[in-house]
Amino acid sequence: MGTLGLDVERGLFLGIDFGTTNSVVSVYDFKEGDVHTIPVDGSNVFPTAIQFETDPEDPDKLSRIFGIQAKEAAIIYPESTVLSIKRLLGTDQKLKIQVEDKEYEFEPEQIAGEILGYLKQKADEYVQEELGIAGEFSGCVITVPANSTDKQKKMTKEAAKLAGFDEENIYLRLEPAAAAISYAVNERKDKKVLVYDFGGGTFDACILNIQIDEENEPNISILSTYGDNHLGGNDIDKVMMDLIYEEFKQMTNGDIDLFDLNVDDGVSKRQKKTALVRLQQMATQAKERLSTAKSTKVVLAPFLQEPKMINLNMEISKEAFLHHKRVNQLGDRPELFEKMEGKSVEDLIDGTLQIVDECLAAAGLQPQEIDEIFLVGGSSSIPRIQEKIKEKFGKEPFKSKMSPALSISRGAAYYCNMIMMPTVRGPVVHEKTIHPLGLEIAGRRFMEIVKEGLDIPKEGLIIEAEQLLTTNFDYVTSMAIVVYENTRPSSKAETTFVYQEGMKRLAGTSLRGIPAAARGEEKVKVIFHVSQDNMLKVMAKSMSTDGVETELSVDELYE
């Protein structure tokens, strides 16, 4: 590989696909005009896992193990290992880690920051040792699911800052848009493309319009995007876990609950945790084997050694796996299990295709108008998914030369090129608003301020509400400012209410200090600012001469 021709003042930028199950990092080579995926610990795909242990040189400190070693260590040390941290970004859930006899507590972004920091360290070493480049990665482009909340984005940025990236050089970009770049740079033709992005923890569908300009460079516009932040390959793994766990329950007559660590059923907490990690890993392996086989054996011997020796040995057919209906909570939060209870793998795949239908409807397209289907994410390689897509669209998905698991990171690296070298020609993604944004007004109605599908310039999109807000009661001195996102907009309804399906409350605050006046006399102007990260700021300002104003960042209202 040649020397990277970099803008030295900006420094090196790293393209990061930070995934629920696995992560990938890539760098743009300016001399060759191409992207290279950086191997971490000898592999292009890095398990998003961390394990803590006591520092041998200082018993009061913790040392860390990352990646495949941490994932394997989870079998022996489940209490001190963290997997799938991405699913906790955007929540207030604390992580309790037990190392020997001590318990430690972490915020989700701290754990994510540790893993990102390790990826940064390995990428720094790679470019220094393998490419002979001085310096380190000061900036990054991290991809996020299209349906990410502002809180998830904020916590992702915070994790990157904790990892050692400069705060002003941390950029977030949508996963399907990054994948689209990977597709478009190799297929330079005018096309409408569906990006089907099925990762470990999330699913996104995105329809893109790719137009090749006079200089043979792709211009990419996002026509529509929909997703589910709680539907991924992990949920398919859980169906396999459920199938195996049902066999375990029959063998033990339901007398042992592996997921209740406090019940006295003769099994220690440590044995239960170890058994659950082994169950999860065996389920993932069995699922992968059924991609190419009609049946597979699952052997866990021994599975438990107390209160008696329990061995699991069962044959699972592909048909049984695809149609098994989930019945066990398996440690999921109640609201997630409510969504997944009774669902089979076929149901979950159909759920992704329902999201695709919503995407098509929002873009005003029929399946036959899609020229290409680009599969992204490790879970999209499941043969049954490819069969279903062929049935729906009447064509085979695009056969990429690269692994679906690498395309997002490579697209993120192209974004790095655009940020560092904005004058250099290359793929251009026209960032757009994803869903309508607005406020709750009297009668619990939704007042739309930002429409979906609007182009977002580099400096951000600024829109002033056409309608001024007015006070609803006499002599009030404050007004509630409550921001909503309409994830399921409909052109049929004349009036939209904030309690309807698809309405998502993003944040709320109060404009205080409004001059006391009769109802309706005091008026308030509201301005929305949407950045290219699709993060939102809202300003509300009283229009009276004694007026006051407030500004809120939606992503900062979760403290």
Do 33 and 161 lie in one domain? The reply is: yes
CATH code: domain of residue 542: 2.60.34.10
Q: What is the pLDDT of residue 556?
A: 42
Token duo for residue 104:
């430690």
* Model pLDDT for residues 150-179, shown as the tens digit of each residue: 788 889 999 999 999 999 999 998 888 888
How many whole angstroms separate alpha carbon 75 and alpha carbon 283? 13
Mean pLDDT, range 194-204, rounded to an integer: 89
Higher pLDDT, 165 or 469: 165
Q: At residue 119, does pLDDT exceed 70?
A: yes
Do 415 and 539 lie in one domain? The reply is: no
302 cis-preceded (ω within 30 degrees of 0): yes
CATH code: domain of residue 245: 3.90.640.10
DSSP for 193-247?
EEEEEE-SS-EEEEEEEEEE-TTS-EEEEEEEEEEETT-SHHHHHHHHHHHHHHH
Q: What percent of the chain has pLDDT over 70?
A: 94
Question: What domain range includes position 270?
Answer: 233-338
Q: Does residue 352 form part of some domain? A: no
Do 479 and 331 lie in one domain? The reply is: no
Beta bridge partners of 428: 219
Higher pLDDT, 178 or 133: 178
Chain-centroid distance of CA 285 in Å reads 23
Q: What is the pLDDT of residue 76?
A: 80
Q: Does residue 207 form part of some domain? A: no
Do 470 and 415 lie in one domain? The reply is: no
Confidence of residue 329 (pLDDT cuts 50, 70, 90): very high
CATH code: domain of residue 171: 3.30.420.40
CB 449 within 8 A of CB 457: no
Q: Does residue 202 form part of some domain? A: no
Confidence of residue 3 (pLDDT cuts 50, 70, 90): very low
Do 442 and 519 lie in one domain? The reply is: yes
Q: Does residue 224 form part of some domain? A: no
Do 413 and 508 lie in one domain? The reply is: no
Mean pLDDT, range 193-214, rounded to an integer: 88
Choose one of 293, 323, 338: the last residue of a domain. Answer: 338
Choose one of 338, 364, 386: the last residue of a domain. Answer: 338
Q: What is the dihedral of CA 198, 200, 203, 208, to 10 degrees?
A: -50
Do 160 and 254 lie in one domain? The reply is: no
Q: At residue 513, does pLDDT exceed 50?
A: yes
Q: What is the pLDDT of residue 175?
A: 87
Choose one of 291, 306, 338: the last residue of a domain. Answer: 338
Do 248 and 307 lie in one domain? The reply is: yes
Domains held by the chain: number: 3
Q: What is the pLDDT of residue 2?
A: 36
Q: Does residue 223 form part of some domain? A: no
> By C-alpha distance, which of 229, 124, 132, 130 is closest to 174?
229
Do 160 and 242 lie in one domain? The reply is: no
Confidence of residue 557 (pLDDT cuts 50, 70, 90): very low
How many whole angstroms separate alpha carbon 223 and alpha carbon 206? 8
How many whole angstroms separate alpha carbon 149 and alpha carbon 134? 37
Mean pLDDT, range 255-282, rounded to an integer: 89
Do 245 and 181 lie in one domain? The reply is: no
Q: What is the pLDDT of residue 394?
A: 93
Do 182 and 289 lie in one domain? The reply is: no
Dihedral pair phi/psi, residue 117, rounded to 5°: -65, -35
* Model pLDDT for residues 422-465, shown as the tens digit of each residue: 666 667 777 788 789 999 998 899 999 999 888 888 888 999 99
Token duo for residue 344:
């089979």
Q: What is the pLDDT of residue 552?
A: 64
Q: Does residue 389 form part of some domain? A: no
Token duo for residue 533:
């990260």
* Model pLDDT for residues 10-48, shown as the tens digit of each residue: 568 999 999 998 999 999 877 777 888 999 999 999 999
Candidate from 261-270, 289-298, 383-392, 539-548 with smallest mean pLDDT: 539-548
